[in-house]
Every structure is written in structure tokens, then in C-alpha cells.
Amino acid sequence: MCRHFLFCWCAGILSLIAQTASASMSESDYAAARARLVAVIESDVRETSVYLDTEELDPRVMETIATVPRHQFVPDDQRAHAYENRPLSIGHGQTISQPYIVAIMTDLLKLKPDDRVLEIGTGSGYQAAILAPLTETVFTIEIIEPLARQAQARFRRLGYANIRSRIGDGYYGWEEHGPFDAIIVTAAADHVPPPLIKQLKPGGRMVIPVGGRFLTQQLVLVSKDDDQHVTTRQILPVRFVPLTGEH
């Protein structure tokens, strides 16, 4: 029953011990670790599929997860954990989400290659890097200046040419580049900012993770239909029903 839990915990201890050694991991080691991570996410998604209305995630999303070097988006002392399916601290009181959650959020946006995506809360830049290969342009806004600068440098260094980033207040979106086909609000939101709903195209989708800094409680998917009617779907990223005996 708690084998999985114990396993994860032991893995945590082992990774702590291995941390120094892993500092010298090669790119191929990282690629192998990414492949393992993808396998873990795929298996978790199959378990949760009932709630996600899908048997598997968009293969393009999984492909991106398998190629984006997550270790480049975390501080050096966290690299050893970069391909564990867990959230990580990136400094400035901010975190990088659990890859499983990143995959689900990205999939929920149902991106097409010519979509324009707006991200509120660049953070480390990992989410934008996942979105970049799937769409035409990613616009991303970060409110914390040092984080924004680090992410900008990272995008340049890693060659993400279709990510446009800005330091500032995400509440009003990025009007001159709107409306957007998809918006992802990874920064904590007190409410859904009305200007963002306005900048969502008819048929567009917005995803907001809700919860603490490290743990995502639920994903809120805001959809605008062709008649401009807005609805939300509250998605538990886990296969769980509140009553016993329900399936």
C-alpha cells in the first residue's frame, strides 16, 4: 500500500547522497533521466485518465518534455533532482512545478502550431520552453525582476527564439499582442483578472494551477466559447473521487 510512498522517500534519500556525484552528469545521462521521467508521467496519466478525459497526453507534449533540458532551468544545487517528478525551489521564494503537472497543464491548452500563447509568471522559464516548440509564439511576463532576467538569459542561451518575455505586471496581459489562443497563469492568482479573460480569443483556453507554492491542488481551465461565454472546469490532477464506492 505505501510501497510507492516509501520508494519515493528512499529515492529522495539516495538522491541526496548522490547529489555531489550527479553534478558531473553528462548530457546523455540527462537525456536518459528525461526518458525515464517521461515514462513515469505517461504511466501516471494513464492512471488519472478518467479525470483528464484522455487516455494519453498529446504525443507532441510528451516529446517536448523528453527534449527540454529541465536541468538548465533549475539552480545548480537542484540539478540532481531536475528529472524527478517533483516541484523544485528556484530561489526568490518561487518554484518550478512537478513535471507531471506541467505536462497536464500544457495538454489542457490543446495547442495548435499557429497559436499565440500568453504565460503569466515566467519563473524559471521551463513552462515557456515547453510551450515554445508547440506554438508559433510564446509571450511571457514575470513580475519578479531577477527571475525575469535569469529566464531571459536562459532563453537566449538555449536558443528559444519564439519566446518573447517582459518584466512587469501580468494582470493586464499583453494587449498589443492579444488576443491569445491560450493563456497559462502560473503565478498565484487571487482571482481571474478580467483583462486576461478579455484577451482570450473565442474558443480559447486558459489554465490556472491553484494551491500552494509546491503543491497544486487543482487546475482551473477557463474556456471561452464562440459566443464569448466563459466557463471553468475544475480538474483534480489525480484519480480521486470523494465518495467511497464511486468509479
Enter the C-alpha cell of residue 56: 494519453
Number of residues that bind another protein (CB under 8 A): 68
Q: Which grid cell sits at 236?
A: 483534480
Q: Considering the complex, state which of residue 158 and residue 236 has its C-beta at the smaller distance from another protein.
A: 236
Does residue 149 touch another protein according to CB under 8 A?
no
166 binds another protein (CB under 8 A): no
Catalytic residue, chosen from 22, 97, 124, 223, is: 97
- Which one of 60, 86, 166, 177 is in contact with another protein (CB under 8 A)? 86
DSSP 117: E
Of 196, 246, 245, 189, give the one whose Cα is nearest residue 218: 189
Cβ proximity to another protein, 83 vs 160, nearer residue = 83
By the rule CB under 8 A, 39 interacts with another protein:
no
| Distance of alpha carbon 125 from alpha carbon 86, whole angstroms | 17
Q: For residues 106 and 127, give the distance between their C-alpha atoms in angstroms, rounded to a whole number.
A: 8
Interactions with another protein, residue window 177-196 (CB under 8 A): 188, 190-195
Q: Which of 3, 72, 66 is nearest to 38 (CA)?
A: 66
Helix, strand or coil, per DSSP, at residue 22: helix
Strands 88-91 and 94-96: what pairing?
A: antiparallel
| Closest residue by Cα to residue 108 from 158, 161, 57 | 57
97 is a catalytic site residue: yes
- Only one of the segments 27-35, 105-113, 174-182, 205-213 lies at the binding site for another protein (rule: CB under 8 A); that segment is 205-213
240 binding another protein? (CB under 8 A): yes
Q: How far is the CB of 46 from another protein (least distance, A)?
A: 10
> Parallel, antiparallel, or unpaired for β 94-96 and 116-120?
unpaired
Cell of 98: 512537478
With CB under 8 A as the contact rule, the residue among 34, 48, 71, 108 that binds another protein is: 48
| Interface contacts to another protein, rule CB under 8 A | 1-2, 4-5, 8-9, 12-13, 15-16, 40, 44, 47-48, 51, 81, 84-87, 89, 92-94, 98, 100-101, 143-145, 168-169, 171, 188, 190-195, 197, 210-218, 220, 222, 230-245
Catalogue the active-site residues: 97
